Amino acid sequence: MVREMEEMLRQHVAQPAHSCSSSSGVSFLDQIISPLYEVIAA
């Protein structure tokens, strides 16, 4: 992840990290974080 972050910082255009997206295009946020947040908020 550190190497990936270093590569992202070298670029001048913001892009999502490859580790945060799946092959179906669904993001880590949608798959993991949002469901956890909904459970905790309930």
Going by C-alpha positions, the residue among 33, 32, 2 that lies closest to residue 17 is 2
Q: What is the pTM of this model?
A: 0.39
pLDDT tens-place string over residues 11-30: 888 777 777 667 777 677 77
pLDDT score at 40: 92
pLDDT-derived band at 31, boundaries 50, 70, 90: confident
pLDDT-derived band at 2, boundaries 50, 70, 90: confident
Q: Which range of residues forms the domain containing residue 3?
A: 1-41
Q: Is 16 left (phi over 0), alpha (psi -120 to 50) or beta?
A: beta
28: burial class by Cβ within 10 Å (0-12, 13-18, 19+)?
middle
pLDDT score at 24: 74
Structural domains in the chain (count): 1
